[in-house]
Amino acid sequence: MLDFTRVLAGPYATRILADFGAEVIKVQSRKTASGSELNNTGYFNTWNRGKLSITLDLSHPVGRELAIRLVDISDVVMENFTPRVMANWGLSYQSLQKVRPNLIMVSMSGMGQTGPWRDFAAFGPTIQALSGITFLTSFTPDYPLGLGYSYADHVAGLYAALAVLVALEHRDRTGEGQYVDLSEYEAMCTLLGPAIMDCELNHSPVVPRGSYPDYALAAPYGCYKCQGDDRWCVIAVFTDEEWQALRSVLGNPPWTDEARFSTAWQRREHIDNLNELLEQWTVQHSPEEVMDLLQGVGVAAGIVKNAREVAADPQLTARHFFATVTHPTLGETTFDSTPIRLERTPARFGRAAPLLGQDNRYVYQELLGIGDRELTELIEAGVIS
Amino acid sequence: MALAGLRVLDLADECASFCSKLLADLGAEVIKVEPPGGDKSRWQGPFWGNLSHPEKSLSFWYNNTSKLGITLNLESNEGQEIFRSLIDRTDVIVETFPPGYLDGLGLGYKTLCESNPGLIMASVTGFGQGGPYSKYKSCDIVASAMGGQMYVCGAPDTAPLKPYGQQAYYTASLFAAVGILMALRVRKHGGQGQHLDISLQEAVAATLEHVLVRYLYEGVVSGRQGSFHWNRSFCLLPCKDKYVVLSPLIEWETLVELLDSEGMASDLTEARWQDEEYRTRHLDHVVEVLQRWTKAHTSAELFELGQLMRLPWAPVASPEDVLVSPQLRARSFFVPVAHPEAKTGFSYAGAPYKFNRATWDIKRRAPLIGEHNIQIYHHELGYSREKIDELSSRNAI
């Protein structure tokens, strides 16, 4: 894979494929390897482990010729520039398809390659705002909060990885390549499908309601304060059976016997009250106690874990969710491995993210056959920076 | 279509129905296998007309497009036999039962792959197939909490907030779909399938952007930032009508000029504000001044103005806004799906990937309960209609 992507959405897609053995050649340049594209950082190491790095100045005409030679030896090209950037460099799908007829090219962008907003500046928070999830992730409609981080980038990355695999399947069957135009805005919207349909079919606005169960008949359900500083648990009761089990853990206090809590519908009707009363119990316990006690009787409950707690989580640890590799300058580094657990052909995490241009020699000389003298000239000319 | 001829049996509830929807819309033949009476996910809202009904669940409709539907009682001996006879021509199974449940019925992966070595089974559960929490019950709020997502969502002075919608189910479904396609590629060399183990908790933990990175590399435990982006590079500000998301730290001079041109820049024109670090430390004041300006405008005005200046601004849209988005409409993002029983069609959110070769299409609406029982049991497996009635009366199907 020839990987022109940057920051998170694109690199997340190519990372998934690199984790499972794809040879991903990340095209960087000294001029643009900064911020989240700075090689010697934890962020870069996390999103780009297992990839190769070459430097290439695409603003240089010879650089673009080299890019074409790289396309010639690649199955897939992935890019997430604003639309027309690749075309302006003579690297549109139309041009590249002439070089490699069965090329698979995936263009990821905020808004898609077409449409009135296609040239709009967009980052994760922008896209999340446009998709509706920011508005809906709030306690009230008057004061939206949003997610606080770029979840949309991961979503787009997942869809892009899926698109590559689908295109490879198509190529296997027909010999044909494919062009894929992927919009991160649309990717986020697909994860709000039911809410959009509710609004459309029921002609009623969909409004945020904090951590209520969006559409499930569940009560109690929510986030409850626990003992300790900023410690919380979550509890979700769906059935009468679970409600009885919860009651028994609480010691069957009289309030749980009230008629207004006796059926699932009534509990949902009175969920605010129910949640308040339940919290009077949870505040006396640590979230660990709440989870143990309730899971012990078959009720869904969990700890609201912070990053430190997630990193030390017993379940994630038992499943070796975190992988460690040695990085040339950062030393021993840890990152999340992958949720994709294929039993026979698991992902491998043997390599940290590359240093800038680390694989120039391998890619340009071994893969493209460029000799020592030509390579030196290209470096001196700044084509390979 | 790319996945034509791929047969998938979908045993999943709401936790992973979206996985095989992705495959079905890409051409796979997906048969949803539900218990007699329908899967419990049919009782999840929202409902068309706001009255709960198993054939009117909009979330079921949305997550099960392009699939066929049969009913089958896996807990009966006959049901299990029927299932085994379906396995022979099945490439993929997607299931969300508690770990060990299918094994207990003699329908676990290890047993089934004996008769069909190419079988791929994707199991999506709260915590995965093994480990200390594998028997724990989960759902979207538990996954969001245990995966580290809820802790950073909400405000410093509020409880943690669960992001809207069943995000853990969707991301787990996406991871599962990717895993299934990879397993299919592996299968081409050697013919063997495999088991794919997906945990909701891990799906959440793997999609947290900076949260784990900051802790693992800097020892920083990220907290709730209210309506600010974690690094304060974005904030939500009120307009005349709704809210807008702005980037208060970048392109500072452009921003100040905009405010100044309306006489609303206050002290932000002073030199000290040009230092990014200073601005970050005193962001509250910046936001205060910005707010007075944004309140004098509509979100649509600021969206247009910002984008004209190439700033990544956007209105905080609601689902109503999404439905009328000119961008989504220009790209035909919403696709019509016929609902013959309703004597009308409805618009569904489509797919975010446009393949230049016809590769994606919503073939049909989600199946009715047992809609394809005759097609599969009679036409394909060859059971007579009498036998089907018999099996039905015994609750085997």
pLDDT digits (tens, 9 = 90+) for B377-396: 999 999 999 999 999 999 99
Chain mean position to CA A228: 31
Shortest Cα distance, chain A CAs vs residue B384, angstroms: 36
DSSP code per residue over A277-344: HHHHHHTTS-HHHHHHHHHHTT-EEEE---HHHHHT-HHHHHTT-EEEEEETTTEEEEEE--S-EESS
Confidence of residue B87 (pLDDT cuts 50, 70, 90): very high
* Neighbouring C-beta atoms of residue B209, cutoff 10 Å: 25
- Residue A153 annotated to the active site: yes
Return d(Cα B44, Cα B159) in angstroms, integer: 26
Q: What is the mean pLDDT of residues B297-325?
A: 96
Query: Nearest Cβ partner of A131 from B58, B155, B322?
Result: B322
Return d(Cα A86, Cα A93) in angstroms, integer: 9
Give the contacts of A179 (CB within 8 A, at least 6 positions apart).
A93, A97, A105, A106, A107, B355, B356
Q: Considering only CA atoms, which of B340, B151, B390 is closest in space to residue A147?
A: B151
Confidence of residue B250 (pLDDT cuts 50, 70, 90): confident
**Backbone torsions φ then ψ of A379, nearest 5 degrees:** -65, -45
pLDDT tens per residue, range A51-70: 999 999 999 999 999 999 99
Confidence of residue A88 (pLDDT cuts 50, 70, 90): very high
Q: Are residues A186 and B181, on separate chains, in Cβ contact within 8 Å? A: no
Whole-model pTM? 0.98
Confidence of residue B224 (pLDDT cuts 50, 70, 90): very high
- Residues of A with Cβ-Cβ distance to B184 under 8 angstroms: 169
For chain B, the structural domain boundaries read 7-207+331-393, 235-311
Pairwise pLDDT comparison (B277 vs A286), residue with the higher score: A286
- The answer to whether A194 faces chain B, any CB pair under 8 Å, is yes
> Could you report the predicted ipTM of this complex, rounded to two decimals?
0.98
Return the residue in B309, B316, B337, B347 with the most chain A beta carbons within 10 A, the one to mutate for interface testing. B316
Return d(Cα B127, Cα B144) in angstroms, integer: 12
Q: What is the mean pLDDT of residues A259-283?
A: 95
Give the contacts of A290 (CB within 8 A, at least 6 positions apart).
A224, A226, A233, A235, A282, A301, A303
What is chain A's mean pLDDT, rounded?
A: 96
Return d(Cα A363, Cα B77) in angstroms, integer: 58
pLDDT tens per residue, range B104-141: 999 999 999 999 999 999 999 999 999 999 999 999 99
| CATH architecture for residues A2-190+319-380 | 3-Layer(aba) Sandwich (3.40)
Q: Are residues A315 and B49, on separate chains, in Cβ contact within 8 Å? A: no
pLDDT tens per residue, range B154-199: 999 999 999 999 999 999 999 999 999 999 999 998 889 999 999 9
* From A66-80, A89-103, B139-153, B265-279, the region with the lowest mean pLDDT: B265-279
Q: Are residues B227 and A143, on separate chains, in Cβ contact within 8 Å? A: yes
User: Given a cut of 80, is residue A19 above it in pLDDT?
Assistant: yes
Residue-level pLDDT at B227: 93
Take residue A240 and report the two structure tokens written for it: 């009468």
- The answer to whether A372 faces chain B, any CB pair under 8 Å, is no
Query: Nearest Cβ partner of B326 from A116, A230, A233?
Result: A116
Query: Nearest Cβ partner of A149 from B152, B201, B359?
Result: B152
Shortest Cα distance, chain B CAs vs residue A267, angstroms: 16
Confidence of residue B249 (pLDDT cuts 50, 70, 90): confident
Chain A residue at shortest CA distance from B226 = A145
Return d(Cα B297, Cα A172) in angstroms, integer: 54
Amino acid identity of residue B361, one-letter, is: D
Confidence of residue A204 (pLDDT cuts 50, 70, 90): confident
Q: Are residues A159 and B183, on separate chains, in Cβ contact within 8 Å? A: no
**How far is residue A69 from each of residues A175, A293, A361, A373, measured CA to CA in Å?**
21, 62, 15, 18
Shortest Cα distance, chain B CAs vs residue A380, angstroms: 34
Shortest Cα distance, chain A CAs vs residue B209, angstroms: 6
Q: What is the mean pLDDT of residues B271-298?
A: 93
Report how many Cβ contacts below 8 Å link chain A to chain B. 485
Chain B residue at shortest CA distance from A224 = B159
Q: Are residues A193 and B234, on separate chains, in Cβ contact within 8 Å? A: no
| CATH architecture for residues B7-207+331-393 | 3-Layer(aba) Sandwich (3.40)
Instruction: Kindly report the CATH number that applies to the domain delimited by A221-225+232-303.
Output: 3.30.1540.10
Chain B residue at shortest CA distance from A193 = B349
Q: Are residues A234 and B163, on separate chains, in Cβ contact within 8 Å? A: no
Confidence of residue A35 (pLDDT cuts 50, 70, 90): confident
- Cα Rg of chain B, angstroms: 26
β-sheet bridge partners, residue A211: A209
Residue-level pLDDT at B363: 96
Chain B residue at shortest CA distance from A21 = B182
Residue-level pLDDT at A290: 98
